[in-house]
Chains A and B, each alone.
Chain A
Amino acid sequence: MKLKYIFIAVLMVSVARQSVGQHELTLFHMNNVFQGTYVNPTLMPEHKVSLGLPGMSSVYFMLNNSTWRANDFKKKINDDSVIFNLEGAVNKLDNKNYVNTAFSTDLFSLRIKIRNTFASINVTEQVDFRLNYPKDLFKLINQGNAQFVGEAADFSGLRVNSSHYREYALGLARIRDGAKFSYGVRLKLLQGLNNVKTVKSDARISIDEQYYAHTLKASAQVNSSTIANDTTGNEDYVKALTSFDNMGWGLDLGATYHVNHRLSFTGSLVNLGAITWKSNVVNRSIDGEYTFSGIKLDLQNDSIKVDIDAVLDSLKSAFKIKETYNQSYKTSLPPRMYLSMGYMLGRNTKVALTFYNEFYQGMNPAISAAYVQRAGRILNFLFTYTAKKNSFNNVGAGLMLKLIAMQIYMVGDNMLAIANPFNATNFNLRFGINLVFGRIRKPDEQSHNEE
């Protein structure tokens, strides 16, 4: 039996090789904080009522860079001499790279216990920005274009995907005292507010060896739905931030199976859904190929004339630029999956191993180990260690402090980044204050412990 678990753990580590995305692997284990249900809908709270007020109950920020750290940009020659090391940073890049930053805040949240069911609602503002960039772009900036003579610089995959939406979620989590199974679901109405999506992005510049002629081949399409597309002069910003023209649906699912009073398995699939963008939509595309052989000199008629207009005209005619309006399009939310195995070491102590994957342009896995400690009624803390591609120094921490009815919490997956931001590739932090009432005297998890 033990061998089987070791095998599963080894397998999980072996797939944690290309990880980006918005994992919140520490929050996943914060069972007494309502916001934990955003990633694990079956988390069972210790209070009958949890209330979150605008702006203060949950503020979340994350930054994730797939490869380099700030310190990769400098190189120490000796004690007195430091140089900017652009080449070192560029060499660290993969062919395709990724930056993701996100922000979210709860405008309102409420959870109440009705018999064995926890019902919740929340309204959350979500902003997500993702930029994919190819290595060749930074090679070009750093070393110039001469390195591509006789070859091609490949800028394919340069993409921006950015969304701003509001989420209205209704959640239900059901647990029966002593039951083996608990499950939870959150159904979300999504109100799309702004979006930019790169549908297609292929671009290459090849440079000829004979006299460095440049051939640019490009094919790209970008859809956007934003108030910035409204150029009528009658922009209504209030309407743009309250309109339900761009609607979507989302779903979070979760289930926990208690094998016995110590061992449990939890799985959740969150952030399923899509938004259809209909208002202020502009679809832009460009297709074409053009070779620039230098400024053409007109040597006729005993004079030399530089014909720059000819260059501009042929450039214009070589690329088909198309702009269409109000053709609606759909964007999917990147689904996230958590699979966790938890083991109660004692009444108040739990360890867990969690595998995470975000499905965004392929698999983006991570694996995490957690230590959760409950210290009386007023203090809970936990630590996690997370491994993912190019990032193996992620020590996360979570802290919940309850002062009368105020539940103050802070949680993040890479707290070392606060002490050492120049060596971090990723950082996320969620903090806030919930108001909680009506302590559940015999929390369900405890009831399992006591079996």
Chain B
Amino acid sequence: MRNVVSGFQFFLLLVTLTACYQKDLDEFNKAELVYKTEIALPVVSGNLTLQDTIPSPPGTITMRDKQTAEFPQEEVNSTEGKIDELILKVLLTNNFPANGTFQVYITDNADAKIDSLLTPSQGTILAGSSGNPFKNNFEIRITRDRYNNFSRNAKNIVLEYTISTTSGASSFVNNKFTFYIGVRAKLKNPF
């Protein structure tokens, strides 16, 4: 009989102990995970040098060009709702004795411009020299609305640029144009 009483007491103790943390267990079971994180990564870098000697130009030469690439629609669509904000951080350095302007814009199916990524000052590159390069460090902020606009309507991404040599520039050899692009993204439940 004593064993039965002890067993019952032990059972009661177990039930009481389980009840104590059952509430915590239940709360963990119904807890919602909202994972927000912000990552910053260097993405690409590159440089442009000229290997051949170019004779000193008699005055200024201006060159304009435009390159078009397909917008990575599939990749952007797959991240819709997960990106709250995107910041592109760009560092450009220019040793060439040449000025330039450039712009990156997005076009839709009808080839109409739907967004330009750069402000005029961001898209300006001034002439530098080997000892004194021109530096332009700026960020492009792409908000959620802007990003959603890309994901719905973008078809192509277009790079348009103009380069003008400066008057009296002696040589283009041993000069370098470098660029670094990093990305900072505010993510919500990315996995």
**Any A CB within 8 A of the CB of B28:** yes
Which residue of the partner chain, among B37, B45, B181, contacts A144 with CB atoms under 8 Å? B37
Q: Does A3 contact B (CB under 8 A)?
A: no
Provide the residues of chain B in CB contact with A419, threshold 8 Å: 16-17, 20-21
**A211-B89, A211-B182 are known contacts. Are A298 and B31 too (CB-CB below 8 A)?**
no
Among the stretches A38-46, A79-87, A365-373, the one at the interface with B is A79-87
Range for the number of chain B residues in contact with chain A? 35 or more
Q: Does B52 interact with chain A (Cβ within 8 Å)?
A: no
**Cα(A294)–Cα(B17), bound, Å:** 55
Residues of B contacting A207 in the complex (Cβ-Cβ under 8 angstroms)? 40
Residues of B within 8 A of A293 (CB): 42, 45, 180
| Structural contact, A146 and B31, CB atoms closer than 8 A | no
Contact B27 A82, beta carbon cutoff 8 Å: yes
Q: A71-B24, A83-B32, A144-B39 are in contact. Are A210 and B137 (CB under 8 A)?
A: yes
B17 neighbours in A (Cβ, 8 Å): 418-419
Chain A residue with the shortest CB-CB distance to B37:
A144
Cα A419 to Cα B19 in complex, Å, equals 9
A sample of 9 cross-chain residue pairs with beta-carbon separation below 8 angstroms, ordered by A number, consists of: A81-B32, A144-B38, A145-B38, A211-B42, A292-B42, A295-B43, A298-B46, A420-B20, A421-B21
Known: A210-B89, A212-B89. A422 touches B187 (CB 8 A): no
Please tell me if A9 contacts chain B, counting CB pairs below 8 Å: no
Q: Is A142 an interface residue (CB 8 A)?
A: yes
Flag if B184 contacts A74 (CB, 8 Å).
no
Interface presence of A404 (CB below 8 A): no
User: Quick one: which of B16, B35, B45 contacts A86, CB cutoff 8 A?
Assistant: B35
A381 to B140, CA, bound (A): 70
Specify which chain B residues have a CB less than 8 angstroms from the CB of A210 in the assembled complex: 89, 91, 137, 180, 182
**C-alpha spacing A145/B40, complex, angstroms:** 6
Q: What is the chain A residue whose CB lies nearest that of B49?
A: A300
Any chain A CB within 8 A of the CB of B48? yes
Instruction: Identify which of A76, A212, A298 gathers the most chain B CB atoms within 10 Å of its CB.
Output: A212
B47 on the A face (CB < 8 A): yes
The answer to whether the Cβ of A147 comes within 8 Å of any Cβ in the partner chain is: yes
Interface residues of B in 81-139 (CB under 8 A from A): 89-91, 137
Minimum CB–CB distance for B50 against chain A, Å: 10
Contacts of A403 in B (CB 8 A): none
- B44 near A297 with CB under 8 A, answer yes
Assuming A84-B32, A84-B33, A146-B38, is B24 touching A295 (CB within 8 A)?
no
Chain B proximity mask over A288-324: 1 for CB below 8 Å, otherwise 0: 0000111111110000000000000000000000000
- Is B4 in contact with chain A by the CB < 8 A criterion? no
B185 to chain A, nearest CB (A): 8
* Complex Cα–Cα for A105 and B181 (A): 58
B90 A83 Cβ-Cβ under 8 A: no
Q: What residues of chain A lie closer than 8 Å to B34, measured between beta carbons?
A: 83-84
B2 near A: Cβ within 8 Å? no
Instruction: Name the distance in Å between A293's Cβ and chain B's nearest Cβ.
Output: 5
Tell me how far the C-beta of A124 lies from the nearest C-beta in chain B, rounded to whole angstroms.
29
Given A294-B42, A422-B21, A422-B24: A211 touches B180 (CB 8 Å cut-off): yes
Q: Closest CB of chain A to B116's CB: distance in Å?
A: 21
Judge whether A82 and B32 touch: CB under 8 Å.
yes
| Chain A residue nearest in CB terms to B51 | A300
Q: Output the nearest chain A residue to B25 by Cβ-Cβ distance.
A: A422
> Given the complex of chains A and B, what is the CA–CA distance between A208 and B33 in angstroms?
31
Of B43, B45, B90, B182, most A-chain CB atoms within 10 Å: B182
Q: Is the interface of A mostly helix, strand, loop or mixed?
A: mixed
Contact B91 A143 (CB under 8 A): no
Residue of B nearest to A307 (CB): B46
**Do A70 and B24 contact each other (CB < 8 Å), given the known contacts A82-B32, A212-B42, A295-B43?**
yes
Tell me the smallest distance from the CB of B45 to a CB of chain A, in Å.
Answer: 4
Looking at chain A, what size class is its interface with the partner chain? 35 or more
Q: Which 3 A-B pairs give the minimum distances between C-beta atoms?
A: A212-B182, A144-B37, A294-B42
User: Which B residues lie within 8 Å of A84 (CB)?
Assistant: 31-34
* A294 and B32 contacting across the interface, CB-CB below 8 Å: no
Asked if B173 is at the interface of the complex by the 8 Å CB criterion, the answer is no
Contact A74 B89 (CB under 8 A): no
The residue in A144, A214, A295 that gathers the most chain B C-beta atoms within 10 A of its C-beta is A144
Judge whether A143 and B184 touch: CB under 8 Å: no
- Complex interface: chain A residues within 8 A of B90 (CB): 211
Which residues of chain B (147-191) have a CB below 8 Å from chain A? Answer: 180-184, 186-187
Closest residue of chain A to B89 (Cβ to Cβ) is: A211
A207 and B89 alpha carbons, distance in the complex (Å): 13
Which residue in A73, A83, A214, A295 is a CB contact (below 8 Å) of B45?
A295
How far does the Cβ of A381 sit from chain B's closest Cβ, in whole Å? 16
Chain A residues contacting B39 (CB-CB under 8 Å) are 144-146
Complex formed: what's the CA distance from A372 to B127 in Å?
86
User: In the complex the two chains form, what is the Cα distance from A160 to B184 in whole Å?
Assistant: 33
Q: Is A15 close to B, CB under 8 A?
A: no
In the complex the two chains form, is A294's CB within 8 Å of B45's CB?
yes
List the B side residues contacting A71 at CB < 8 Å.
24
Instruction: Find chain A residues with CB under 8 A from B61 CB.
Output: none
Q: How far is the CA of A143 from the CA of B182 in the complex (A)?
A: 18
A149 close to B (CB within 8 Å): yes
Cα–Cα, bound, A76→B24 (Å): 11
Chain A CB within 8 A of B41 CB: yes
Q: Which residues from 367 to 412 on chain A have a C-beta closer than 8 Å to any C-beta of chain B?
A: none
Alpha-carbon distance between A233 and B36 when the two chains are bound, in angstroms = 46
A222 CB-CB contact with B under 8 Å: no
> Are A214 and B31 interface neighbours, CB within 8 A?
no
Q: Tell me if B181 and A294 are in contact (CB < 8 A).
A: yes
B141 CB to closest chain A CB, in angstroms? 14
- Contact across chains for B183 and A212 when beta carbons are under 8 A apart: yes
